[in-house]
């Protein structure tokens, strides 16, 4: 077993390797392998795995890449994520990718799919429409058709005929992945000092750039390590960070929240890896149906799913209570309509039950955290004072 | 609307004004008239279906733009920001929420009724989803019918997508309308309305395509949104819409016969100097000033994309009374903001060529990611494909903080100079501009 420090170091490198060298190496080992890049938040990675592909999460360039060309593609009032991704595409970071999936989170990502089409990046560029109808026979059927399109795209590249067995096998692997990740969150729930939020982030983000089998192995070892005591408990408050599901906050921001005296016990940073809650049926004759069912019945709340029947403000409050959180930090990318338009009503839900909250906005390449640190520090102090 | 006292009006404009006034009056009396009220969006609207249930539609986007024109939007936006909305997000939403918090007084000064149904036709814009989720919380207990329109990601409408929409209409939208109104869905009535829609659509296309002539008898952007298009949404399917477009078409024919240019608020445009294709919504808070910069320079917009958010009819789509639900689905999927970027580029390229435009201009709107994200790439593509000079200005729909008159005027003046120079060069080379 590797030491936790070594695992964490590896994860940090993988998480921010914007050339995706590990994924490209994996592909080079076999002619029939393909790489499929996907943007936040969620795609059913199982079908890519079953088609001999590696799903690779493209979460933006963060503060690790200077944006020059990307800015010429976007007006100043559009969030930062797509400009970083265009920069990566133009700089050939994404050159070995066979195809791209753009999940339906907003019109920026939607239109980015068209920009990839116009610049002919990859062999396919699919906008992956999440159904907003949650009836299995209506939305579920549509979701299956969306998955079938991707399967056809991949088949056209490597000729791999995807079987039910192969998808079921992938579902099993991703079930393990989801379970281990949740185990880490529940250990951190009790002992948040054992693994920091930044470390957790690195581990999860590394996972979307490597084969799931390897990530599972890594996660198992992490779980083993943090079963044991590590670090020192501090007099910190416990917070849920929400609103950062797409454009990722810079590591400096997560660190600042922690350093200001907050344990981040729940977050939506790497939501795609955690969107489906619980296990997906792994022995179905029609595994696409199982994946669609999971999307419909087991998705966590997020800004990109219509939620009138099951409002996300209430779900956030419930989650905060389950995590025994003292407060909520609304942290959204600037110009992110989905997150920002949800904020007022979610805050009202918090007010209704007396959960304190603060909010701030960031860009993925924000470099100054002084104000955020102060704000989080005051938040933590005030909670401690009044608790 | 712009100050009606100053503007010079054609007969059609007067008819439109009366129709809209009556509509808002009916809305203010909806409860007395026993009519149910549906709030819904312009792109992918189901007007014929709504009317077939004898319900009255309200389009919050139109209220927002009217508030912008009446200089009320700044205060409404402030109100929404006070309740926690970010400065960064779509100002249509904030303007609407602010108006609602201020007593929901419509453009004619009469109060708008509360919705009996929120019809979330989620077409071509992600923000719509957020908008009605917000409204649902402001109008607790009002049912929401969600109609998810799949995006034309592959540049075509597939059978699966149509099936998905028809199923939603049959199992989500229509049952909710039946419940709200207590009436049964009447397919024959819907088809009848759609027959009228197709007639109005034929006329609308003729009117829009009249801009292919030199000089163009219409301005397909400013006039397009001022009096050609607005009637389309709320009245599509009615007899009065057909009458209105019949009148408008005869006016346009008359202008063609007389060789007249477009009507502007200050009378006829005397000389058509530049023909432009325009992408993006206009600014509403300073609509008249904005328009004036163009007509003062002799610039006519011969085709625009914004006037296609309520439906792209010039590429052939017509509501089909024989297959009403399929046709409504295809209509929703076909609206401009539901086209993918390559389709948008193709459409604009065709406009530039078919309408013999001298230039292509983008008014990039801070609020609207649906339009704006990717526009700079569209601009480059059009430049490469057509060779016409491209221009780029920025403003907002209804937030006056983002309309800088001096800035826009400067930019446009340099742009017109560029067009002028190109004309001279082309003339020297013996090419007809
Ligand atoms: S950060 Fe928000 S606005 Fe930007 S691409 Fe992501 S979801 Fe869309
Ligand atoms: S984002 Fe654009 S299309 Fe959507 S509601 Fe706002 S202005 Fe309308």
Tens-digit pLDDT profile for chain A (387 aa)? 899 999 999 999 999 999 999 999 999 999 999 999 999 999 999 999 999 999 999 999 999 999 999 999 999 999 999 999 999 999 999 999 999 999 999 999 999 999 999 999 999 999 999 999 999 999 999 999 999 999 999 999 999 999 999 999 999 999 999 999 999 999 999 999 999 999 999 999 999 999 999 999 999 999 999 999 999 999 999 999 999 999 999 999 999 999 999 999 999 999 999 999 999 999 999 999 999 999 999 999 999 999 888 899 999 999 999 999 999 999 999 999 999 999 999 999 999 999 999 999 999 999 999 999 999 999 999 999 886
State residue A18 phi and psi, 5-degree precision: -75, 0
Q: Which residues 191-250 in chain A show a CB within 8 A of chain B?
A: none
Q: Between the CA atoms of B413, B415, B419 and B420, what dihedral angle is there, to the nearest 10 degrees? A: 30
Q: Output b/e per residue, A103-137; b: 16+ Cβ within 10 A.
A: bbbbbbbbbbbbbbbbeebbebbbbbbbbbbbebe
Closest by alpha carbon to B123, among B378, B384, B364, B310? Answer: B310
| Cβ-contact A356, A341 below 8 angstroms | no
CA distance A177 to chain B (A): 31
- What's the Rg (C-alpha) of chain B? 21
- Asked if the bond preceding B349 is cis, omega within 30° of 0, the reply is no
| Contact at CB, B126 and A338, closer than 8 angstroms | yes
Question: Does residue B127's CB lie within 6 angstroms of at least one atom of ligand 2?
Answer: yes
Contacts with B384 (C-beta within 8 Å, 6 or more apart), sequence order = none
For residue B373, give the chain A residue with the closest CA: A108
- Between chains, do A127 and B85 touch, taking CB under 8 Å as contact? no
Q: Cα separation of B47 and A33, whole Å?
A: 49
Considering only CA atoms, which of B160, B378, B169 is closest in space to residue A129?
B160
What is the per-residue pLDDT for B128? 97
β B274-279/B267-268 pair status: unpaired
- Determine which helix (DSSP H) or strand (DSSP E) holds B365, and give its type and residue range: strand B359-365
The finding on whether B92 has its CB within 6 A of some atom of ligand 2 is yes
Question: Tokens for B358?
Answer: 């001298």
**Contact residues, A window 29-88, toward B, CB-based 8 Å cutoff:** 72-75, 77-78, 82
Name, in order, each residue with C-beta under 8 angstroms of A9's C-beta and a sequence gap of 6 or more: none
Helix (H) or strand (E) holding A174: helix A164-190
Residues with CB under 6 A from ligand 1: A 79, 81-82, 105-106, 108-109, 246-247, 333, 336-339
- Name the nearest CA neighbour of B63 among B91, B92, B38, B37: B92
What is the token pair recorded at A301? 């709340």
The pLDDT of residue B4 is 43
Q: A29 CA to chain B: closest CA distance, Å?
A: 32
Which pLDDT tens digit goes with each residue over A197-206? 999 999 999 9
In degrees and rounded to multiples of 5, residue A147 shows phi and psi of -65, -40
Residue B198, in any domain of the structure: no
Strand order through the sheet with B144-148: B56-58, B37-40, B117-122, B144-148
Strand order through the sheet with A327-333: A262-267, A237-242, A327-333, A357-362
Which residue's CA is minimally distant from atom 6 of ligand 1? A246
Radius of gyration of chain A (CA): 20
Q: Which tens digits make up the pLDDT trace of A324-382?
A: 999 999 999 999 999 999 999 999 999 999 999 999 999 999 999 999 999 999 999 99
Residues B60 and B134: their CA atoms lie apart, in Å, by 13
pTM greater than 0.80 (yes/no): yes
3-state secondary structure of A30: coil
Cα(B430)–Cα(B432) distance, integer angstroms: 6
Residue found by looking up tokens 């580029």 in the block: B345
> Cis omega before residue A126 (within 30°)?
no
Q: Does the residue B273 lie in any domain?
A: no
Give the span between the Cα atoms of A345 and B84, in whole angstroms.
Answer: 9
CA distance B278 to B266: 21
Residue B329 lies in a domain: no
Count of structural domains within chain B: 1
Contact A105 B126 (CB under 8 A): yes
Task: Indicate whether B191 belongs to any domain.
Answer: no
With residues binned 3-state (H G I as helix, E B as strand, rest as coil), the percentages for chain B, rounded to 5, are 55, 10, 35
ipTM for the predicted complex: 0.96
Mutate to test the interface with B, among A70, A77, A134, A314 (most CBs of B within 10 A): A77
Q: Is A95 on the interface with B (CB under 8 A)?
A: no
Q: What is the mean pLDDT of each run of 10 residues along chain B (433 residues)?
A: 57 87 90 95 96 96 92 96 96 96 87 96 96 94 97 97 98 98 98 97 97 97 87 89 94 96 93 97 96 97 96 96 98 98 98 98 96 98 98 96 96 96 90 62
Q: Does any CB of chain B come closer than 8 Å to the CB of residue A269?
A: no
CATH classification of the domain holding B86: 3.40.50.11890
Report the alpha-carbon distance of residue A345 to residue B83 in Å, rounded: 9
| Beta carbons of B133 and A126 less than 8 Å apart | no
Distance from CA of B148 to the nearest CA of A (A): 6
A14 near A20, Cβ under 8 Å? Answer: no
CA distance A68 to chain B (A): 15
* A99-103 and A124-128 beta bridge pairing: parallel
- Nearest CB among B146, B340, B370 relative to A133 is that of B146
A-B C-beta contacts closer than 8 Å:
158
Residue B193 placed within a domain? no
Q: Which of A8, A2, A57 is nearest to A203 (CA)?
A: A8
- Helix, coil or strand: residue B275: strand
The partner residue sitting opposite A114, judged by closest CB among B93, B340, B376, is: B340
Q: What is the pLDDT of residues A269-288, one digit of tens each?
A: 999 999 999 999 999 999 99
Where would I find the H helices in B156-273?
159-168, 174-181, 187-209, 222-223, 230-235, 239-258
Distance A245 CA to ligand 1 centre (A): 9
Show Cβ contacts of residue B247 under 8 Å, excluding neighbours closer than 6 positions.
B11, B12, B15
Residue A45: per-residue pLDDT = 98
Question: Residue B288 corresponds to which tokens in the numbers above?
Answer: 């008249």
Structural domain contains residue B62: yes
DSSP letter at B111 equals B
From chain A, the residues in CB contact with B344 under 8 A are 114
**What part of A 301-320 touches B (C-beta under 8 Å)?**
303-304, 306-308, 311
Asked, for residue B226, whether it belongs to a domain, the answer is no
For B84, which of A105, A145, A344 is closest by C-beta distance?
A344
Exposed / middle / buried, residue A217 (Cβ in 10 Å: 0-12, 13-18, 19+): middle
Residue B90 sits in which domain range?
A: 11-185
Count of CB atoms within 10 A of residue A65's CB? 18
Q: Give CA–CA dist A310/B334, Å, rounded.
A: 30
Residue B406 placed within a domain: no
């Amino acid at each position: 077993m590797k030491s936790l420090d070594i695992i964490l170091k590896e994860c940090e490198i993988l998480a921010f390797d914007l050339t995706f060298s590990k994924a490209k190496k994996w592909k080079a080992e076999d002619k029939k392998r393909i790489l499929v890049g996907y943007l936040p938040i969620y795609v059913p990675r199982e079908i890519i795995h079953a088609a001999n592909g590696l799903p690779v999460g493209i979460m933006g360039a963060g503060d690790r890449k200077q944006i020059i060309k990307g800015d010429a593609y976007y007006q100043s009032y559009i969030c930062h994520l797509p400009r970083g991704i265009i920069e990566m595409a133009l700089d050939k970071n994404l050159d070995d990718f066979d195809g791209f999936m753009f999940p339906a989170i907003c019109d920026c990502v939607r239109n980015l799919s068209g920009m990839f089409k116009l610049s002919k990046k990859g062999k396919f560029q699919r906008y992956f429409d999440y159904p907003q109808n949650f009836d299995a026979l209506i939305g579920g059927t549509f979701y299956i058709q969306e998955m079938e399109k991707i399967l056809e795209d991949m088949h056209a590249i490597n000729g791999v005929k995807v079987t039910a067995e192969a998808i079921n096998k992938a579902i099993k692997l991703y079930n393990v992945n989801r379970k281990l990740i949740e185990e880490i969150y529940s250990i951190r729930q009790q002992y948040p000092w054992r693994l920091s939020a930044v470390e957790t982030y690195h581990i999860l983000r590394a996972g979307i750039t490597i084969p799931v089998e390897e990530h599972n192995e890594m996660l198992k070892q992490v779980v083993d390590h943090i079963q044991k005591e590590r670090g020192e408990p501090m007099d910190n408050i416990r917070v849920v960070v929400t609103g950062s599901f797409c454009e990722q906050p810079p590591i400096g921001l997560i660190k600042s929240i922690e350093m200001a005296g907050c344990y981040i016990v729940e977050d939506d940073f790497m939501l795609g890896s955690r969107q489906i809650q619980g296990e997906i049926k792994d022995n179905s004759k029609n595994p696409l149906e199982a994946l669609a069912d999971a999307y419909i019945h087991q998705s966590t709340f997020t800004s990109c799913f219509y939620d009138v029947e099951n409002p996300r403000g209430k779900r956030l409050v419930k989650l905060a209570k389950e995590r025994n959180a003292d407060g909520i930090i609304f942290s959204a990318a600037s110009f992110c309509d989905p997150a920002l338009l949800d904020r007022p009503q979610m805050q009202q839900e918090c007010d209704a039950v007396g959960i304190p909250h603060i909010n701030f906005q960031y860009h993925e390449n924000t470099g100054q955290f002084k104000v955020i640190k102060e704000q989080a520090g005051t938040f933590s102090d005030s909670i401690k004072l009044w608790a | 609307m712009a100050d009606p006292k100053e503007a010079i009006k054609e007969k059609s404009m007067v008819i439109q004004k009366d129709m809209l006034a009556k509509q808002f009056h009916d809305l203010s009396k909806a409860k007395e008239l026993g009519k149910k009220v549906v709030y819904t969006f312009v792109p992918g609207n189901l007007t014929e279906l709504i009317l077939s249930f004898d319900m009255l539609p309200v389009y919050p986007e139109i209220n927002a733009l009217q508030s912008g024109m009446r200089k009320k939007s700044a205060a409404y936006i402030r109100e929404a920001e006070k309740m926690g909305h970010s400065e960064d997000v779509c100002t249509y939403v904030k303007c609407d929420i602010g108006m609602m918090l201020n007593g929901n007084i419509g453009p004619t000064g009469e109060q708008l009724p509360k919705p009996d149904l929120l019809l979330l036709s989620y077409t071509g814009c992600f923000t719509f989803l957020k908008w009605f989720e917000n409204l649902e919380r402001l109008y607790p207990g009002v049912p929401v019918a969600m109609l998810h329109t799949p995006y034309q990601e592959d540049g075509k409408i597939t059978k699966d997508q149509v099936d998905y929409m028809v199923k939603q209409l049959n199992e989500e939208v229509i049952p909710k309308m039946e419940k709200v109104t207590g009436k049964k869905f009447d397919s024959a009535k819907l088809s009848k309305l759609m027959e009228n829609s197709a007639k109005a659509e034929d006329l609308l296309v003729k009117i829009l395509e009249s801009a292919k002539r030199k000089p163009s008898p219409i301005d397909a952007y400013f006039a397009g949104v001022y009096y050609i298009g607005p009637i389309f949404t709320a009245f599509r399917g009615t007899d009065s819409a057909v009458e209105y477009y019949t009148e408008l078409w005869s006016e346009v024919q008359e202008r063609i016969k007389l060789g007249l240019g477009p009507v502007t608020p200050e009378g006829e445009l005397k000389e058509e100097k530049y023909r432009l294709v325009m992408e993006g919504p206009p600014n509403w808070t300073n609509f008249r000033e904005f328009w004036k910069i163009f007509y003062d320079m002799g610039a006519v917009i011969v085709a625009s994309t914004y006037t296609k958010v309520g439906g792209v009819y010039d590429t052939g789509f017509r509501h089909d009374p024989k297959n009403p639900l399929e046709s409504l689905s295809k209509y929703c999927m076909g609206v401009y903001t539901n086209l993918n970027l390559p389709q948008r580029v193709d459409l604009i390229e065709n406009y530039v060529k078919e309408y013999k435009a001298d230039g292509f201009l983008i008014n990039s709107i801070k609020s609207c990611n649906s339009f704006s994200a990717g526009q700079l790439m569209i601009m480059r593509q059009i430049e490469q494909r057509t060779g016409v000079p491209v221009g780029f200005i920025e403003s907002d729909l209804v937030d006056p903080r983002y309309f800088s008159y001096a800035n826009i005027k400067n930019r446009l003046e340099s742009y017109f100079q560029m067009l002028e120079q190109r004309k001279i060069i082309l003339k020297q080379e013996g090419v007809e501009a």
